[in-house]
């Protein structure tokens, strides 16, 4: 296994809790993140060729140069974006102090869960490896080689068997979830087993008495609340009984209690759900997309709003203690968001989505 996170362990260029050097460097790197005008230029480009030309004027140039010998299509751009993301994460982990490395690795662990889920869903619906690979974020402990190994499997059980053979930490959760899935036929069982694993794993790694850990614990709680809210939305849509839905409740959050979760599951429509969520911090984010939900009554609208809310929270960490772990996390999330946006623009250019719709799809610009 060659995890991004573990690669640079042997370069202790700063003290275990020295944030002066890494945070100053990250602030410098942050100034090179693409601004709204740069995205506007990318959206306004006439096609893939112009998009690549525009990207060659940015930090992505060196990664694009490496892949452009294979072609000038969306697949090559996607490959370059992934290379860039891995390179930047390796670079950041190369100069972070030990505490920041631990905390960032814990928060990036969610991408391992995301990647495994994406591969499993892809295999479940019979998607091709190239299509699945384009949506992966290889920035957690599972590197691109590990993900390629999982992707090479032919079906869901093959992926789970490979994870077990490699003794991945997520393997026991995957096996439990898969057993349940075989009994119920509901794939959510596998996904929730992974979420439960992540909540427990991250919670135990962040259980230290220190202001940096305390700040990130709150974010983990927010993440668990978001997962519970999405589960409640799905349970309400599928008219699940309260007893059945409570099986899916994840403990560890601080905004969604079991009783509130019950209220959400029992809500009969979107209005009831939003009313029940009024006391939560992400209520405004959900109400902001209520009109969009009225036009397109899909839970994905709310899921996307909650994901944006969480990204916003992570990026806002840049205005916390300038000698704390918020700066590295804000930068890493800002970079991931930037790559996601460029991926959206690339897809839009590939399939010819109108400019206005592409603009709407972008996150946090």
Partner 1 sequence: MIDKRLARKVFGIVVFLSAWLVPALAFAEEAAAAGDASWQVAVGKAVAAGLAMGLSALAAGYAQAKIGSAGAGALAERPELPIWIIVLQALPEIIVLLGFVSAIMING
Residues of this chain that interact with partner 1 (CB under 8 A) are 14, 17-29, 31-32, 95, 211-212, 321, 323-324
CB of 29 to partner 1, least distance (A): 5
Q: Which is nearer to partner 1, 14 or 68 (CB)?
A: 14
CB of 88 to partner 1, least distance (A): 12
Q: Which is nearer to partner 1, 210 or 241 (CB)?
A: 210
Angle (deg, nearest 10), helices 188-205 and 171-184? 150
- CA pair distance 5, 174, nearest whole angstrom: 22
Give Cα 181 distance to the centre of its chain.
24
CB of 323 to partner 1, least distance (A): 5
- CA pair distance 199, 256, nearest whole angstrom: 14
Q: Which is nearer to partner 1, 22 or 253 (CB)?
A: 22
CB of 91 to partner 1, least distance (A): 10
DSSP 247: T
Residue 269 has, within 13 A of its CA and on its CB side, a CA count of 5
Please name which of 173, 190, 205 lies closest in space to residue 99, comparing C-alpha atoms: 205
Q: Which is nearer to partner 1, 17 or 304 (CB)?
A: 17
CB of 51 to partner 1, least distance (A): 26
357: tokens are: 């719709």
Q: Are 321 and 334 in contact (CB under 8 A)?
A: no
Q: Which is nearer to partner 1, 24 or 152 (CB)?
A: 24
Q: Which is nearer to partner 1, 176 or 321 (CB)?
A: 321
- CA pair distance 186, 245, nearest whole angstrom: 13
**Rg of the Cα atoms in the chain:** 21
CB of 228 to partner 1, least distance (A): 32
CB of 286 to partner 1, least distance (A): 34
Alpha carbon separation from 4 to 81, 86, 164, 224 (Å, rounded): 16, 7, 21, 25
CB of 25 to partner 1, least distance (A): 4
| Cα dihedral across residues 326, 329, 332, 337: positive or negative | negative
Please report where in the chains the tokens 């053979």 appear, as a residue. Answer: 165
Q: Which is nearer to partner 1, 32 or 278 (CB)?
A: 32
CB of 190 to partner 1, least distance (A): 40
The vertex-193 CA angle with 188 and 194, nearest 5°, equals: 100
Q: Which is nearer to partner 1, 20 or 281 (CB)?
A: 20
Alpha helix stretches (DSSP H) within the chain:
20-30, 36-44, 48-55, 61-67, 74-95, 98-124, 129-133, 144-151, 156-165, 171-184, 188-205, 211-237, 242-246, 258-266, 270-276, 283-288, 290-295, 299-315, 326-351, 355-361
Q: Which is nearer to partner 1, 310 or 331 (CB)?
A: 331
Centre a 10 Å sphere on the Cβ of residue 78 and count the other Cβ atoms it contains: 22
CB of 324 to partner 1, least distance (A): 6
Q: Which is nearer to partner 1, 42 or 96 (CB)?
A: 96
């Amino acid at each position: 296994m060659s995890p991004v996170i573990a690669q640079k362990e042997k370069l202790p260029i700063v003290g275990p809790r020295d944030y002066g050097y890494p945070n100053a460097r990250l602030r410098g790197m942050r100034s090179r993140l693409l601004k709204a005008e740069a995205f506007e230029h990318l959206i306004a480009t006439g096609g893939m060729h112009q998009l690549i030309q525009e990207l060659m004027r940015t930090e992505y140039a060196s990664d694009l140069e490496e892949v452009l010998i294979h072609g000038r299509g969306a697949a090559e751009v996607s490959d370059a974006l992934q290379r860039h993301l891995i390179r930047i994460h390796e670079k950041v982990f190369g100069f972070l102090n030990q505490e920041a490395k631990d905390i960032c690795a814990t928060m990036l662990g969610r991408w391992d869960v995301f990647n495994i889920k994406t591969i499993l869903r892809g295999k479940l619906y019979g998607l091709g490896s190239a299509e699945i690979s384009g949506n992966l974020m290889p920035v957690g402990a599972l590197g691109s080689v590990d993900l390629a190994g999982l992707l090479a499997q032919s079906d869901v059980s093959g992926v789970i068997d490979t994870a077990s053979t490699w003794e991945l930490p997520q393997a026991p959760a995957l096996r439990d979830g898969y057993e349940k899935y075989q009994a119920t036929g509901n794939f959510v069982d596998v996904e929730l087993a992974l979420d439960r694993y992540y909540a427990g794993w991250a919670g135990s790694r962040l259980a230290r008495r220190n202001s940096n850990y305390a700040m990130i614990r709150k974010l983990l709680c927010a993440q668990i609340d978001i997962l519970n809210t999405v589960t409640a939305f799905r349970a309400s849509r599928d008219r699940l009984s309260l007893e059945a839905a409570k099986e899916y409740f994840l403990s560890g959050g601080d905004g969604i209690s079991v009783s509130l979760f019950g209220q959400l599951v029992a809500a009969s429509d979107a209005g009831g759900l939003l009313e029940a969520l009024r006391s939560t911090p992400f209520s405004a984010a959900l109400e902001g997309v209520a009109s969009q939900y009225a036009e397109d009554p899909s839970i994905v609208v709310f899921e996307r709003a909650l994901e944006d809310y969480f990204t916003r929270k992570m990026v806002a960490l840049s205005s916390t203690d300038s000698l704390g772990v918020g700066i590295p996390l804000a930068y890493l999330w800002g970079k991931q968001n930037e790559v996601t946006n460029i991926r959206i623009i690339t897809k839009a250019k590939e399939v010819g989505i109108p400019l206005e719709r592409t603009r709407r799809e972008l996150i946090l610009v």
